[in-house]
Structure 1
């Protein structure tokens, strides 16, 4: 009996030692955005394709090490869900708020959606580390309705943080907000021009046609006189 009790106690201790700590999971912060009201004359914008660097296509929250290499977080921290989807939704909502339009869709867009502007975006870097600031590197291209390039730019943004994984994710979110602000500033002149063109298409009400003018009849005068007796 004594031997059985000892074995059972050992088993309980072993099971207690196997309890694992919950894995911390993080999501990007979309920010406090105000969605604009639906407007019939709002410019149509197609966002994407948005391409991410290969190392960002995984669940692990990678950390930039002192030597510049990347490694998984010591707590095995992960992204909650798909990082690609989080970035897509963050940029979509930020652009809708900044450009005051509801006519935004993610590439390839729905059937019948005809964009005035398309934003192609490539994010080649988005990371940070306990001793490294958050860094975002990206390249965007703007295309008009005919697919003609209207502009492009390479950007590198940086944001400091306090070192914790939570604050690193906050800093990365801030960088994406700043990217959306720059995109909105680049797109806005095209949007304004397109919106103005749509409004000019609306014809002013035509005036009713005036009836034809009939010239007044004047009496015909001759030199002949009529005498009556």
Structure 2
């Protein structure tokens, strides 16, 4: 009987390679889904300044967090975000808002010189997460300001969406509540933004002209009495 012998170094190399393949399995990456957000075609749409947008500290990471039944958050070991979730939220807000308003006249704060917004959107997202047994929850506060800085509207928002438990379906549910938030903001922007140009173009009423002053006749000098009852002027 012939015994096949492998060199010890070759055997060790094979075992290490197998262990390496097991330890470094690729992890699925996820992004929020913006749906069918088409590029806006109207270059003369409502002018909107988006931001400042503040996002909770715990969302500013690549780790995909899971909300547990006791309310705690744990990091998913088999999935993560494809980049910063906060940056992805900013991109989704801008693209979806532009699509719903059909306007390319959107800018992210701080505005570039020369850009005069009709409406400014201030947004604070304080929660966006889900868990295997917890629904996707979005909590936010948005406000609208006029171009002059006057408060037009604002609302505290809490949105929930159920899912099937898998990571992929949780991301779908989180994407859906984000789209619902954008829909609310877009509706308010349309209401106030469409009124802004009409107000700006309304001709200013001229003040009624003051009545012309009546001419005052020149006063005559007082007569000087002379002897002989002759009056000289």
- Fold conserved (TM > 0.5)? yes
Do the aligned partners of residues 35 and 197 (structure 1) sit closer, same or farther apart at CA in structure 2, a change above 3 Å counting?
farther
Q: In the alignment, what sits opposite 1:211?
A: none
Residue in structure 1 matching 2:48, options 45, 48, 51: 45
List runs of 5+ in structure 2 lacking aligned partners.
204-233
Bigger share in strand: 2
Distance 2:198 2:97 in 1: 19
Aligned positions of 1:80-159 closer than 5 A: 80-159=82-161
Distance 1:58 1:37 in 2: 34
Q: In the alignment, what sits opposite 1:207?
A: none
Q: In the alignment, what sits opposite 1:208?
A: none
Q: In the alignment, what sits opposite 2:184?
A: 182
Q: In the alignment, what sits opposite 2:16?
A: 14
Farther off after superposition, 122-131 or 77-86:
77-86
**Size of the alignment, in residue pairs?**
198
Tell me, yes or no, if structure 1 residue 61 matches structure 2 residue 64.
yes
Distance 1:98 1:38 in 2: 11
Distance 1:17 1:34 in 2: 46
Displacement of 1:15 after TM fit? 2.5
Distance 1:80 1:148 in 2: 38
Distance 1:128 1:33 in 2: 24
Displacement of 1:36 after TM fit? 2.7
Displacement of 1:38 after TM fit? 2.9
Displacement of 1:143 after TM fit? 0.7
Residue in structure 1 matching 2:31, options 5, 9, 27: 27
| SS of alignment partner, residue 85 of structure 1 | helix
Displacement of 1:81 after TM fit? 1.7
Do the aligned partners of residues 12 and 152 (structure 1) sit closer, same or farther apart at CA in structure 2, a change above 3 Å counting?
same
Displacement of 1:199 after TM fit? 5.6
Displacement of 1:150 after TM fit? 1.1
Bigger Rg over Cα: 2
Tell me, yes or no, if structure 1 residue 70 matches structure 2 residue 73.
yes
**TM-score scaled to structure 2, two decimals?**
0.79
Distance 1:153 1:11 in 2: 62
**TM-score scaled to structure 1, two decimals?**
0.81
